[in-house]
């Protein structure tokens, strides 16, 4: 009996701590979202209150949508994130397949070379990257950002995916070979569909830093036409620092897309992590 009671106490304590921390984690998000729907006066009068019929006001969102080129920024962020993600997943999976499937001279050396980038941040090469982009006329283009993010995401993608691809059954691939499938068909038709959970994990870990990055958009593509939403909201906050409705609405708008993507992927994410790679 005593053990049963003890474990109930423990469960309650565990829930208590977790609820407390969840509140700490979500509180700032709550503050942004709630206040972005309130009138200016209500924001200052009682920042923690929920919007009521009286205080509900969409003025902030209207300002943002009229004023800033937020749709353009949003579109730029989408293009950069989706483009980089596509290349990271495609090139990363191809390299991971080569490293995990075939034995050739220099295999582990190549693996080590590609894994180097996990430890060494690409930012340290910024000086030379900027010079290179200036020389090739890619400054202020989205292409420059996609190239940089692809290079940045590849090391981790190759590392995680090659761990996963080792677990794909050899019999399956050999059966494919006996049926006369080319190596390319085996990769695209047999192996890729089987490592989908790992691809989701890589996608989340690649996507978040790209979407949120401020450094490279600030340095490589700060022009009006190529601003990403992160840089755009940073500049917007600088200009509208006293217009709290607009700033809060801009922040609210910046949270939504990445939150939606995260909620879609989150189930795959934990499955991907627990299945092996990052141990």
Footprint on residues 189-218 left by another protein (CB under 8 A) = 208, 211-215
Interacting residues of 225 by C-beta distance below 8 A, sequence separation 6+: 72, 76, 140
List CB contacts of 135: < 8 A, sequence separation 6 or more. none
Q: Which is nearer to another protein, 39 or 212 (CB)?
A: 212
Residue 103 Cβ, how far from another protein at the closest point, in Å?
A: 10
Q: Which of 125, 189, 196, 256 binds another protein (CB under 8 A)?
A: 125
Any contact of residue 123 with another protein (CB under 8 A)?
yes
CA atoms of 226 and 233, how far apart (whole Å): 13
Closer of 53 and 179 to another protein (Cβ): 179
- For residue 1, the minimal CB distance to another protein (Å) is 16
C-alpha pair distances (Å), 275 with each of 9, 134, 150, 162, 218: 32, 43, 25, 13, 37
Residues 235 to 274: which contact another protein by CB under 8 A? Answer: 237, 247, 251, 254-255, 258-259, 262-263, 266, 269-270, 273-274
27, containing H or E segment:
helix 2-36
Q: Which residue in the set 58, 65, 72, 132 belongs to the binding site for another protein (CB under 8 A)?
A: 132
Q: How far is the CB of 134 from another protein (least distance, A)?
A: 11
Element (DSSP H or E) covering residue 265 = helix 244-274
Environment class of 13 (CB within 10 Å of its CB; exposed 0-12, middle 13-18, buried 19+): exposed
Distance in Å, CB of 227 to another protein, minimum: 12
Is 45 a binding residue for another protein by CB under 8 A? The answer is no
Q: Rule CB under 8 A: which of 144-173 touch another protein? A: 147-148, 150-152, 154-155, 158
Q: How far is the CB of 169 from another protein (least distance, A)?
A: 19
> Which parts of 9-38 interact with another protein (CB under 8 A)?
10-11, 14-15, 17-19, 21-22, 24-26, 28-29, 31-32
Q: For residue 56, give the 3-state DSSP assignment.
A: strand
Interatomic CA distance for residues 278 and 152, integer angstroms: 18
DSSP label at residue 191: I
- Of 228, 231, 72, 220, residue with least CA distance to 137: 220
Minimum distance, C-beta of residue 113 to another protein, in the bound complex (Å):
8
Nearer to another protein, 32 or 72 (CB): 32
Say whether residue 76 binds another protein (CB under 8 A).
no
Residue 133 carries which DSSP code? Answer: H
* Residue 129 sits in the site that holds another protein (CB under 8 A): yes
Q: CB 154: neighbour CB atoms within 10 A?
A: 22
Q: Least Å distance between CB 157 and another protein?
A: 8
From the list 42, 85, 95, 191, which residue makes contact with another protein (rule: CB under 8 A)? 95
- The region of 51-59, 60-68, 170-178, 181-189 touching another protein under the rule CB under 8 A is 181-189
Distance CA 85, CA 203 (A): 7
């Amino acid at each position: 009996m005593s053990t049963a009671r003890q474990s109930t106490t423990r469960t309650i304590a565990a829930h208590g701590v977790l609820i407390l921390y969840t509140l700490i984690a979500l509180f700032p998000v709550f503050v942004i979202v709630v206040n972005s729907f309130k009138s200016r006066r209500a924001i200052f009068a009682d920042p923690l209150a929920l919007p009521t019929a009286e205080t509900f006001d969409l003025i902030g969102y209207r300002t943002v949508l009229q004023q800033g080129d937020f749709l353009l920024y949003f579109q730029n962020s989408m293009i950069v994130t989706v483009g980089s993600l596509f290349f990271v997943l495609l090139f990363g999976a191809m390299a991971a397949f080569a490293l995990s499937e075939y034995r050739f001279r220099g295999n582990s050396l190549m693996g080590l070379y590609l894994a180097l980038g996990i430890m060494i941040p690409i930012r340290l090469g910024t000086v030379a990257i900027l010079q290179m982009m200036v020389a090739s006329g890619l400054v202020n283009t989205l292409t420059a950002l996609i190239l940089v993010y692809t290079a940045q995401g590849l090391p981790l993608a190759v590392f995680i995916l090659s761990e996963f691809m080792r677990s794909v059954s050899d019999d399956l691939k050999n059966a494919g070979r006996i049926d006369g499938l080319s190596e390319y068909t085996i990769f695209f038709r047999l192996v890729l569909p089987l490592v989908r959970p790992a691809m989701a994990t890589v996608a989340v870990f690649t996507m978040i830093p790209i979407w949120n990055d401020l450094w490279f958009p600030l340095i490589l593509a700060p022009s009006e036409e190529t601003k990403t939403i992160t840089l755009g909201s940073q500049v917007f906050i600088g200009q509208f620092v006293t217009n709290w409705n607009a700033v809060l609405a801009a922040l609210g708008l910046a949270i939504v897309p990445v939150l939606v993507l995260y909620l879609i992927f989150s189930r795959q994410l934990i499955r991907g992590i627990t299945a092996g790679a990052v141990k």
